[in-house]
Amino acid sequence: MADKAGEGAVAVTSGLDWQYAPAPESRDVVAIAPRYGLFVNGEFTQAASGRTFPTINPATEEELTVVAQAGPADVDRAVAAARTAFEQVWGPMPGSERAKYLYRIARIIQERSREFAVLESIDNGKPIKETRDVDIPLAAAHFFYYAGWADKLSYAGFGPDPRPLGVAGQVIPWNFPLLMAAWKLAPALATGNTCVLKPAETTPLTALLLAEVCQQADLPPGVVNVLTGAGGTGAALVAHPGVDKVAFTGSTEVGIAITEKIAGSAKKLTLELGGKAANVVFDDAPIDQAVEGIVNGIFFNQGQVCCAGSRLLVQESVAEQVVDRLRRRLATLRVGDPLDKNTDLGAINSRRQLEKITELTAAGEAEGAERWSPPCELPSRGYWFAPTVFTGVSQAHRIAREEIFGPVLSVLTFRTPQEAVAKANNTPYGLSAGIWTEKGSRILWMAQRLRAGVVWANTFNVFDPASPFGGYKESGFGREGGRHGLAAYLDA
C-alpha cells in the first residue's frame, strides 16, 4: 500500500542493530476534500468573507487542504443557530431522546475509527498507534459515557431538575483534536446545551469529520456548530454576547486573556490549561515498570500533553540506575512516519511548536543542565525533535519551571518524601502527578500532599471518561469527565 504521507519521513532510530520493516497504515481509507467549509446549522458553508487557510501534514509539510476561516459574521450565524436549536429543539427534548443521538454519534465514531485515526495522524503528526488505540477509542467512550447520563441528570446530585446553561462556546487545542472535541461536546450535549466549537488552526480536520458524523446521526441542525479559524475566531466566539458558557482548553496565557475578557459578564467559564507535572520515583519502585511509566509520561504524543510527566523526581539512591535504564530504553524508541504502525514518536505539530521546544532546550544547556538524546536520525522534511533528557537540572532552570510541551524530560533528585513533595509542588501549575513506589501508605501520603488534579500511582497518562480531570492554580479550574464534568454545563 502506497504511503504518500510517509515519503521522506521514514526510518529512524538506530539504537538497535536491526531495523523494523515499514508497516504503513493505508492513507487511502481517508478522502480529504480540496476545501472545507464551516459547519453551521447542520450544513457546510463557506465563511462570509470567503477567507480560507491551509492545514498541513507536519510530518511532510505537505498542504493537505484549505479550510474556511470564520469571522465575526460567521460567529453571529453559528451562535444564532445554536440559540434557536437550544430553545426550540435540544433544550426541551427529554434526556432519554438526547441520549439516543449521543449513542449514535459514539457508534459512528467507532465504525469510522480507522478513518478518524488516519486523518488525525496526518493532520496532527501523532503516531497511528496512538490515534488508533487512544484518541479515537477514548473519544467514542466519552460520547457513550455521557449518553448514559443524559436521562439520569435528576440523580446526578445537582438537584431534582438541573437545567442546561444554553449556548456553549468551546475552544480547543491541537494536541488531542478529536478527543478534546469529544470532552467538550459530549457533556454539553448530554445536559441539553447546544455548542459552537472552535478547533485549533493546525488541526481542523477531525472536528470537521465529526461534524459530518453529526449529520450522519441526524442530529438536529444547530445543536453542534464547528467554526474553523485562528485565535481571532476563538476570541470572537468567547466574547459573543449570545454565548452563555465558555469552555477553553489551551495555554495559560490565552486562558488568562479569556478570563479578563468575559469578567463581569454572566458567562460561566471552565479552563483546562498547561502543566509541569512531577513524576516521582522512590527507591523501592519496580524500576523497569517505572521506566516504562516515565517514557509513557513524557514521550506519549511527543510530550505535547498538558499532563505530561515532564519533571522526573527520582530518589537520589536510585537516580543513576534509573537514568541508565531510561537511556537504554530510549535508544529503542522509533521516531518517524506517523502512519507507520511501529512508530513511537511522530512529528511535532507545527513549526512554531518546534521553535518553542528548540528555544527552551537551548536554554537548558545554557543554564548548565546536561543534555542527552539517543542516536537518532530525523527525517529531513517536516517538524521533528529527538527524545531528549536533561540531567543535573535545578529547580531554578527554565526547563524545570516552564512547560516545554515537547519530548523533553528534566531529571531532578530528592532524598526524602518531604523533599519530593516540596519540589513537586514548586510550580505555578497543578494538573497531574505520578508516584512510583511499592508502599501503599506512601502513595496515600503523597497523594494527599501533591497539589495536582490527577495523581497516578504506579502508572501514568491513564484516562477514563468516568474520571474527572482538571487542574489547580495556573492549570485552570473546573473538571471535565465523570459526574463532575456535568456541573460545568448545568445551572446548578
Question: Would you name the residues annotated as active-site residues?
Answer: 272, 306
Q: Note whether 249 binds ligand NAP by CB under 6 A.
A: yes
Beta-carbon neighbour count of residue 187 at 10 Å?
Answer: 29
- Binding pattern to ligand NAP, positions 113-152, x when CB under 6 A? ----------------------------------------
Among residues 3, 135, 244, 272, which is the contact residue for ligand NAP, using CB under 6 A?
Answer: 272
Q: Note whether 45 binds ligand NAP by CB under 6 A.
A: no
Q: Note whether 254 binds ligand NAP by CB under 6 A.
A: yes
Per CB under 6 A, the segment of 6-14, 109-117, 271-279, 292-300 that binds ligand NAP is 271-279
- 250 interacts with, out of Mg ion, ligand NAP, none, CB within 5 to 8 A per kind: ligand NAP
Q: Note whether 274 binds ligand NAP by CB under 6 A.
A: yes
When CB distances to ligand NAP are compared, the closest residue is 234
Q: Output the smallest distance, CB 314 to ligand NAP, in A.
A: 23
- 123 interacts with, out of ligand NAP, Mg ion, none, CB within 5 to 8 A per kind: Mg ion
Q: Note whether 244 binds Mg ion by CB under 5 A.
A: no
324 Cβ contact list (under 8 Å, min separation 6): none
Per CB under 6 A, the segment of 131-139, 220-228, 230-238, 386-394 that binds ligand NAP is 230-238
Find residue 111's DSSP bridge partners. Answer: none
Q: Note whether 273 binds ligand NAP by CB under 6 A.
A: yes
Q: Note whether 173 binds ligand NAP by CB under 6 A.
A: yes
- Which of 83, 240, 88 is CA-nearest to residue 167? 83
Among residues 67, 223, 306, 420, which is the contact residue for ligand NAP, using CB under 6 A?
Answer: 306
The answer to whether residues 436 and 282 touch, using CB atoms and an 8 Å cutoff, is yes
Per CB under 6 A, the segment of 5-13, 65-73, 253-261, 393-401 that binds ligand NAP is 253-261
Q: Output the smallest distance, CB 173 to ligand NAP, in A.
A: 3
Q: Give the separation between CA 131 and CA 134, rounded to whole angstroms.
A: 5
- 55 interacts with, out of Mg ion, ligand NAP, none, CB within 5 to 8 A per kind: Mg ion
- Which of 195, 164, 199 is CA-nearest to residue 179? 199
Q: Note whether 436 binds ligand NAP by CB under 6 A.
A: no
Q: Note whether 58 binds ligand NAP by CB under 6 A.
A: no
Among residues 221, 234, 297, 417, which is the contact residue for ligand NAP, using CB under 6 A?
Answer: 234
Q: Output the smallest distance, CB 60 to ligand NAP, in A.
A: 20
Among residues 405, 436, 460, 489, which is the contact residue for ligand NAP, using CB under 6 A?
Answer: 405
Q: Output the smallest distance, CB 305 to ligand NAP, in A.
A: 7
Q: Note whether 251 binds ligand NAP by CB under 6 A.
A: yes
Question: With contacts defined by CB under 6 A, how many residues of the chain interact with ligand NAP?
Answer: 28
Q: Note whether 175 binds ligand NAP by CB under 6 A.
A: yes
Which residues of this chain interact with Mg ion, rule CB under 5 A? 55, 123, 202
